[in-house]
Structures are given as C-alpha cells and as structure tokens.
C-alpha cells in the first residue's frame, strides 16, 4: 500500500528549515541532495547549484517529511504552490495506476518516467488544483 508524505518547497532556506525540524523530531536525514549533484544537462541555473534539490527526514512510523528549494527556473514562489502530496508507491505498476488516476482531468507538470536518481517519478496538479508527486524508488526493493 502506498505511503503519503508531506513535501515542502522553500525559497532558498530548506536547509535551515530542515535542521530545525531535525532538532524537533530528533531523527537523522535519510537523503540530502543538492542541485549541483544532478547531471550537468539537468542543472537549469548555476545560482541553484548549492541549493537543496531533495531532503528527507523520518518523522515517525513510515512518515517522512520531504522538501526542496524551489529552482529559480520556476520563478518566484507564491503562497499555495509550496506544498505537495507525495505518494511513495510500492511498485512501478502502483505508481502508474495512481498517477494516471489522480492526474485525470488535471495538468501533468512532469511525466511519470524513470529518473537519473533511480526512481519512477512524476508530478501533476489534479483537476482540483492540488499538487501531487508520485514516486517508486527502485532502491527500496
């Protein structure tokens, strides 16, 4: 069964925010990736190089608080576009089913596909305007 996790976007202060969350939850980061770790063809702006591309912090049970700095390529962040519902699927098939079902009538912002970070991942806004991320991590099995 898929797991739901909050995914927060920040305007350049993800690291500060997550160090604060880490101090509260008392757990250690599972992943900290920066934009400069991406293959060069994917880095959209040199000014983003040291910003957080992805960070994850376990917060209890199977729940993981995740986040990233908003890439300057997406323009300024506005209230309401800083949170996603992130689903961690148990299989590629489940990810496809959830992606296709939830994105129906919405707008796909990143097609569901294999990524350079070894995941099957996609993003969309559903027909109600809510932002979603669907992920299947090939390393989890």
81 — pLDDT class (breaks 50, 70, 90): confident
The whole-number pLDDT of residue 80 equals: 72
User: Other C-beta atoms within 10 Å of 35: how many?
Assistant: 22
Cα 130 to Cα 138: distance, rounded to the nearest angstrom: 26
Mean residue pLDDT of the chain comes to: 89
The whole-number pLDDT of residue 141 equals: 57
pTM above 0.85? no
The whole-number pLDDT of residue 42 equals: 75
pLDDT digits (tens, 9 = 90+) for 86-105: 988 989 999 999 999 999 99
Closest CA to 67 of 114, 108, 34: 34
The whole-number pLDDT of residue 139 equals: 87
Domain boundaries in the chain?
Answer: 3-140
- Domain 3-140 fold is 2,3-Dihydroxybiphenyl 1,2-Dioxygenase; domain 1 (3.10.180)
Cα 136 to Cα 128: distance, rounded to the nearest angstrom: 24
Cα 76 to Cα 70: distance, rounded to the nearest angstrom: 8
Find all residues with CB under 8 Å of 92, minimum gap 6, and list them: 120, 136
127 — pLDDT class (breaks 50, 70, 90): confident
Phi, psi (rounded to 5 degrees) for 69: -80, 140
CA 93 to chain centroid: 19
pLDDT digits (tens, 9 = 90+) for 36-80: 998 877 767 888 889 999 999 998 788 899 999 988 877 787 777
């Amino acid at each position: 069964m898929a797991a739901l996790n909050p995914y927060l976007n920040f305007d350049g202060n993800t690291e500060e925010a997550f160090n604060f969350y880490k101090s509260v939850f008392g757990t250690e980061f599972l992943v900290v990736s920066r934009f400069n770790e991406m293959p060069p063809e994917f880095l959209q702006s040199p000014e983003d190089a040291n910003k957080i591309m992805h960070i994850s912090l376990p917060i209890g049970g199977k729940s993981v608080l995740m986040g990233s700095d908003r890439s300057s390529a997406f323009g300024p962040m506005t209230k309401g576009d800083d949170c996603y519902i992130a689903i961690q699927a148990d299989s590629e098939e489940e990810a496809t089913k959830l992606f296709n079902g939830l994105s129906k009538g919405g707008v796909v912002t990143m097609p569901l596909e294999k990524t350079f970070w070894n995941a099957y991942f996609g993003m969309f806004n559903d027909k109600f305007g809510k932002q979603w991320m669907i992920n299947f991590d090939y390393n989890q099995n």
